[in-house]
Amino acid sequence: MTAPDEDERPALPGAEPPRPGPAPAPVDAGAGADPHRARGLDAPFAAGGEDAADPARRAREARDIRLLVLFVGLLVGVPTVLTILALAADLLARRGDG
């Protein structure tokens, strides 16, 4: 086990306070760091939800919507079909018992 650094040791009564470390380097976050940019309701937005979307993006969104509808249809349809088949098999098996 290694000895803790001086900064990690608990302060004892009457001990001198810890020395401040080096100041953190400034972070450049690009446009998001601009303190004067508009925020909240003052920020620009596309009226009516329409923005300048290129045809490639619209085609990608249309494909994604079709895939979403297909997957939802499969998630609902497959269990429904399997349930109907299981009920039909059960009814046929009971009819043969009589």
Placement of tokens 């309701």 in the chain: 41
Domain extent listing, the chain: 56-98
With b for 16 or more beta-carbon neighbours within 10 A and e for fewer, the 46-60 pattern comes to eeeeeeeeeeeeeee
Q: Are 7 and 18 in contact (CB under 8 A)?
A: yes
Q: Are 11 and 17 in contact (CB under 8 A)?
A: yes
Residues 52-95 pLDDT 10s: 778 888 899 999 999 999 999 999 999 999 999 999 999 999 88
State how far the Cα of 39 lies from the Cα of 47, in Å rounded to an integer.
Answer: 16
Mark residue 65 as left, alpha or beta (left: phi above 0; alpha: psi -120 to 50; beta: remaining): alpha
State how far the Cα of 77 lies from the Cα of 55, in Å rounded to an integer.
Answer: 32
Q: State if pTM tops 0.75.
A: no
Please determine, for residue 13, whether its predicted confidence score (pLDDT) is greater than 60.
yes
| DSSP code for 35 | T
